[in-house]
Chain A
């Protein structure tokens, strides 16, 4: 059981979380090319090592950004998306 850190609730077991994809994978709007659209839809960073990912803490339902190492499983940082929006 890995421990992930929800920015609101603190460290919790991995089974409380839902993976939401790569951070920064912005949904393209409007009449974009199939390439741009399917890049967003299907293509992944899938980083080995440090990765910036979107997660949802299912218990509090907050979506947040977590940087974690996909090899060592170290959780490097967690931050709320709200602050990102304000910045």
Chain B
């Protein structure tokens, strides 16, 4: 093919602004307004890529989003792969690399593969490569597959914020149908969004000859857009509607230019009109994949829009009337055009014409001539082939719409409206302009504009690939599927369309079969003696065209992905040198100071037992349960009986799942008769709040018990250690902290700086401890006072890691670490309620299922025999001959600075009765030993709670 510029045509290109880019290292020049494809065509580049499997040379088939051949990687920033050159604007300085052609598309060293094509038909790989083993072949096959190549050194699409929009009417496609419907609806006062994937509105009006209300197509379209904007409609160009989702939601991708990911729009419309037009398909003849074979509407578009004629001796082969417009236009532009049309009732036309069809294209790397069925050979440098138009119904089908095969247009059309979505215009099978406008106007209850032209009646005769045809007739140009492959599939009984697709890969490439699916299934229909309707289509899946992954991610990434919850005092901790880690979704100090972890943690844990430790426990759950039935409610929620708790007192307890596993533990505080605070694990706050709310509404009088999650309202500051009471008294909270007034597990109130402080005496360290809860935004002065006054008491800031050591020394559990989903309260040594509690509680009945005793384990201490810290996660094993069985595992393991030896905790079968026994442990392939010990390693008498 020898494309050339036609001076008198090409309204979209600005000849005063040249652009220059390279393709496979070769410099190409075009004009601003060109697509990459139009510039390459004008420059006479014919072979623009190599096919996926056989490495056949390929040229542009289309001028739009259905393009199967013309893809390239665009190198640079962002690095983009498999870009369709037919829809990508040409820009100065672009560096393009063709797909599957090395060193270039023109001269591909793998072109020889095509000579072996007969041995590697569809699905050949299922039949071989089994000996000695697939792994021997896989790397080579993988290297041959794939299209473009990613560049690890380059950037991809930058994050783009997503957007939501709501409207009365969303119109997809700004061709004659979409513009008419949008305009009429906006004039009627409806809130309209109109989108189109092109940079200019108009659709087929941009290249077909027509008048609407007496105005030339492109002018009418421009005026319509201006009027729409005046009326407040949102007109979104270069915006592809890619998917139809639930309940009226449509996904759009708005192109924002080179670096940024297209913006994902979620548009919720009361009504959606799909005016997405139709896609031209080719004709079945041998070598119909040669560079230089192009669709009629593409040739017309290249000519009128970009001023590029695709050849000088052009064959226009068609089975319908629409291609005549392209033939006439190309002839007028100066090309020599011959029409090949087998139809008896072809329209009158003054171009040379044969009533015939093409048998084959002749030419190795492009079109040299065509061979007609009659045997006549006609020299040519380009073939325009129009096999009809397939309505673009993807989004309708995604919305569960059913299709009907329409013999009159030889295509599938929507059978009926689906909820909230109608299809209009060519997408609805209306191919004449007047018909299109009438369809569009009717959809919005308006009067149709007046149409004149285009003048060629559509009238189509079916021209599907036929069984047993000579030569290789290509259906899926991108995945290299021929008619013979479909016949092979039929022969092997892969006759359902889904089997056909998967077996031959027909329609599974980047173009998702936009030009190939229908010819393929029409052939299968013939081969199986079914109608096309009976054969049916495969399921249409989003997206309509490939959409950058980055569009779906939006700005969700880095710190904006699953954002951590932050402490009110974070800045203060940072200035105190805290190292932060994420614990249960909260970003918390792990330790303070610049030292190594082990050194810092030991120092903190030791100091806390010697003097006083300050710990920011703000994430601790604080869920208020309020009302006259609160006690009764909590009896149901907790494994332990809670209604007997006296006001002003605290009680530790478990919450179980309905399956009987320990779900959470914590201290319940009774503020007064009708008011409790559930202190749940910080990572469980939301789960517990939901659980409480669900059961409150399910089983209780909702007027008599209320749930309020106040976790984030309060900061909770923990003061622990032998000097904790003295420190608090020195800070001065205005509360009586004497053991008589405030014994262990009791509550009182004080104030600091005029702000009330709730003081609970509970301990997670085994030392005398106080938890001070104060309004989160007033916590800083109190924290500073604790630190400053604390200097005199050798106070130390405690990070989360040291706290974990302190609680481990005492054997206090951490849910999810020292327990798993099979841990029942009895395993943790709390059997009282199981044996005695009368009333209903969550999980009660499950505790009496047979599995509970079968799976019983005990929470125990574990001692290292060597002085080395036991590996956390090691399993205790029992041997039976050579077979090993896990009988438990190490859940917690630390070096205890206060005991100057390793300590560990674990769950072990029959552990409680095996204290003192030696266990075999397995850790990462190695065997070691440990002794079962009591859970509490430090201050087993609990004297320090009161010291």
Contacts and interface: CB of A to CB of B under 8 A. Distances in A.
Are the chains A and B members of one assembly? yes
Interface of A: 1-3, 14, 18, 20, 27-30, 32, 34, 37-38, 41, 56, 58, 61-63, 72-75, 81-82
B226 interface: no
Contacts of A56: 690, 693-694
Contacts, number: 46
Interface string B831-875: 000000000100001100100000000000000000000000000
Given A1-B249, A1-B266, A2-B247, A20 B694 contact: yes
Given A37-B846, A82-B702, A73 B693 contact: no
A44 to B, nearest CB: 14
B697 A81 contact: yes
B698 A72 contact: no
Interface in B635-677: 658-659
Contact of B846 (A18, A41, A61, A62): A41
A49 to B, nearest CB: 14
B91 to A, nearest CB: 35
B245 A1 contact: yes
A63 B697 contact: yes
Contacts of B247: 1-3, 73, 75
A51 B555 CA distance: 36
Contact of A62 (B248, B658, B697): B697
Contacts of A3: 246-248, 268
Contacts of B693: 56, 61, 63
A2 B697 CA distance: 25
Contacts of B840: 29-30
Contacts of A1: 245-247, 249, 266
A2 B849 contact: no
B531 interface: no
A87 B659 CA distance: 31
Contacts of B419: 74
17 contacts: A1-B247, A1-B249, A1-B266, A2-B247, A3-B247, A27-B699, A28-B845, A30-B840, A32-B845, A37-B845, A41-B846, A56-B690, A58-B690, A62-B697, A63-B694, A73-B247, A81-B697
A56 B268 CA distance: 23
Nearest to A1: B249
A27 B702 CA distance: 17
Nearest to B698: A63
B528 interface: no
A56 B689 CA distance: 12
Nearest to B400: A72
Contacts of A34: 849
B699 to A, nearest CB: 7
Nearest to A36: B845
Given A18-B690, A34-B849, A41 B658 contact: yes
A41 B846 CA distance: 9
Nearest to B246: A2
Nearest to B843: A41
Contacts of B249: 1
A41 B694 CA distance: 15
A14 B247 CA distance: 11
Contacts of A61: 693, 707
Contacts of B707: 61
Nearest to A20: B694
A14 B248 CA distance: 13
Contacts of B659: 41
A37 B840 CA distance: 13
A85 B119 CA distance: 72
A2 B249 CA distance: 8
Nearest to A74: B419
A18 B845 CA distance: 25
Interface string B439-457: 0000000000000000000
Contacts of B658: 41
A84 to B, nearest CB: 11
Contacts of A38: 849
List of 5 A-B pairs having minimum Cβ-Cβ separation, nearest first = A63-B697, A2-B246, A3-B247, A37-B845, A61-B693
A74 B659 CA distance: 32
A48 B670 CA distance: 47
Nearest to A30: B840
A80 B278 CA distance: 47
A6 to B, nearest CB: 13
Interface centre among B693, B694, B697 (most CB of A within 10 A): B697
A31 B707 CA distance: 29
Contacts of B266: 1
A14 B249 CA distance: 12
Contacts of A29: 840
A34 B248 CA distance: 45
Interface string B358-395: 00000000000000000000000000000000000000
A87 to B, nearest CB: 16
Contacts of A20: 694
A74 B399 CA distance: 12
Given A3-B247, A30-B840, A32-B845, 20 more contacts: A1-B246, A1-B247, A1-B266, A2-B246, A2-B247, A3-B268, A20-B694, A27-B699, A29-B840, A37-B849, A38-B849, A41-B658, A61-B707, A63-B694, A63-B697, A63-B698, A72-B400, A73-B246, A73-B247, A82-B702
B879 to A, nearest CB: 34
B916 to A, nearest CB: 37
Nearest to A81: B697
A65 B246 CA distance: 20
Nearest to A4: B247
Interface in B797-854: 840, 845-846, 849
A3 B684 CA distance: 28
Contacts of A14: 246
A30 to B, nearest CB: 8
Nearest to A58: B690
A74 B419 CA distance: 10
B496 to A, nearest CB: 21
B604 to A, nearest CB: 38
Interface string B66-94: 00000000000000000000000000000
Interface centre among A30, A41, A58, A74 (most CB of B within 10 A): A41
A85 B134 CA distance: 64
Contacts of A28: 845
Nearest to A82: B702
B311 to A, nearest CB: 49
Interface string B211-249: 000000000000000000000000000000000011111
Contacts of A73: 246-247
A69 to B, nearest CB: 12
A84 B419 CA distance: 31
Contacts of B845: 28, 32, 37
Contacts of A63: 693-694, 697-698
Contacts of B699: 27
A28 B846 CA distance: 12
A32 B209 CA distance: 80
